[in-house]
Every structure is written in C-alpha cells, then in structure tokens.
Amino acid sequence: MDKHIKIVLLLLLANICISAEIPTSARSEKAIRTVKAELVAQLKRVGLEYGSPIYIRIFKKSSELELWVKRREAYELFKTYEICAYSGSLGPKTKEGDNQAPEGFYFVKPGNLNPWSSYHLSFNLGYPNHYERQHGYTGSALMVHGRCLSIGCYAMTDRFINEIYAMAQGAFESGQPFFRVHAFPFRLERGVLEKYKSNRWYSFWQNLKEGYDLFAKHKVPPDVNAKNGRYVFSAGN
C-alpha cells in the first residue's frame, strides 16, 4: 500500500475512534446547534477555524476563563469568559469537602465531557492529577459547568458553557485527543506574585509560574508531569 494512503487511512481510523468516544445527548446537540453558526463566523473573522485544537486558562481571582485556539504552530486567544461562580479562596484544592476550586494543570479527554450534567453541561478537569496524587490530595468530580452555581467547581452561565462545550466537542471531532486546562490563582507575573510572599501557597505558585512562563514564551501549552512533589515542565508541541 502506498505510504501516503496508509497514513490517511490511519488518521481517518483514529478520528472514527475518537468520535465514537465522545458522549452526546439531545441536550448537548441542541446547545451546540444554538451557538455553532455564530462561533464559526466569529472564528472566521479573526482567521481561526472551528474544530481547531483548543486550550483553556482559568484565573481565579479575576474570575476569567480564557479560550485559546490553535493556528499553525501556536495558540491565539479567542475569547475571555466571565466565570459566574467558584467556591473557596485562593489556593489549591487539597481534600474532599474543602469546597476549594482546584489550581493546577489538567487535561480533558472526550470521556470527560458530561452532556447529561445536573448543571446543564460540564466537563471533568481530572482532579486529582499526578501531582495532587503524590501529595495525597483527595476529591473528585471537579468540573467546569453551567447553571452559575458552584461547590468546588468553576461555574459558567449556560450560554457561556454552551460555547465552550461546542468548541471542545468540535476539537475532539477533528482529532484533538485531549485539551489542556491550566487553572491559576491569578496572572502569575513577577510583580504580582511578589505581593504574595507571605502566603502559605507562595512556593506552590512559584512552581505554577514555571508553566505559566513557558506558555507566555512559546504560546504553546507546555507538557506537564510531576516528580518528587513538584510540577516539571518541558516545551509543548
């Protein structure tokens, strides 16, 4: 078989497998229909495409969720959404029942989508991640969802979660195997972070800043792992 034909067939097979893993419901299909045409038009106006890979950043203190979309080799900021509600204060989630919204580095796979959510639509961040398991942190079902109501999650308006969910499903359908969600306490610029030197989480936030700075430099989310109780980073693809 011609090498190029074989590659195309393998890519098609991979896309079919990914599509088969994406959960859907009448609710999610209706929600996507209500926003997709306008999203496609908005993306086109700024030279981006629906179905391109996405990346999400969350900033707790300013209640912002950024949606980035890949163009060529880098990601560009498409929209910034107001987070309707989150619970707890600045600092990571460490145990079940502390009502803290998590801070850290997460990735969302197709199976993390929940089109039947009690909070309209949602996706699971995948807490606890490898770093959090190393520290013995506990908790589960930490989401970004609708309904503007939060107990440890990041809640959006239904309109906003419809758009974010549509962009996520579109990226999955086009072959993105997972998208990254990086949740920060605030924008980790040096001058801002220095104001928190006396905070108990200062060293943790310094560690988060390493990943924050890599993205600022390359506009590609870094690859993230955990070793000896710290996040470790390398430049992403």
Structure confidence at residue 108 as a pLDDT band (50, 70, 90) = very high
Of 225, 177, 145, residue with least CA distance to 19: 177
Domain spans in the chain, listed from the N-terminal domain onward = 22-234
pLDDT at 78 over 50: yes
* 100-127: average pLDDT: 97
Structure confidence at residue 7 as a pLDDT band (50, 70, 90) = very low
> Concatenated DSSP letters for 174-191?
TT---EEEEEESS---HH
Bond before 128 cis per omega within 30 degrees: yes
Domain 22-234 part of CATH 2.40.440.10: yes
pLDDT at 75 over 80: yes
Structure confidence at residue 9 as a pLDDT band (50, 70, 90) = very low
SS3 label, residue 118: coil
**145 assigned to active site:** yes
- The reported pLDDT for the residue numbered 4 is 53
- The reported pLDDT for the residue numbered 234 is 94
Q: What is the pLDDT of residues 194-210, one digit of tens each?
A: 999 999 999 999 999 99
- The reported pLDDT for the residue numbered 93 is 98
Q: Considering only 3-17, 37-51, 80-94, 147-161, which range has the smallest mean pLDDT? A: 3-17
Q: What is the pLDDT of residues 53-73, one digit of tens each?
A: 999 999 999 999 999 999 999
* 120-146: average pLDDT: 97
- The reported pLDDT for the residue numbered 66 is 98
Show the tokens assigned to 63. Answer: 């209640």
Query: Phi and psi (nearest 5°) for 12?
Result: -65, -40
Give 3-state DSSP helix, strand, coil % of the chain, rounded to 5.
35, 25, 40
Of the residues 135, 153, 182, 218, which is catalytic? 153
Q: What is the pLDDT of residues 156-215, one digit of tens each?
A: 999 999 999 999 999 999 999 999 999 999 999 989 999 999 999 999 999 999 999 999
**148 assigned to active site:** no
Of the residues 17, 145, 148, 182, which is catalytic? 145
Q: Considering only 12-26, 101-115, 169-183, which range has the smallest mean pLDDT? A: 12-26
- The reported pLDDT for the residue numbered 19 is 54
Place of tokens 């072959």: 175
pLDDT at 1 over 60: no
Structure confidence at residue 3 as a pLDDT band (50, 70, 90) = low
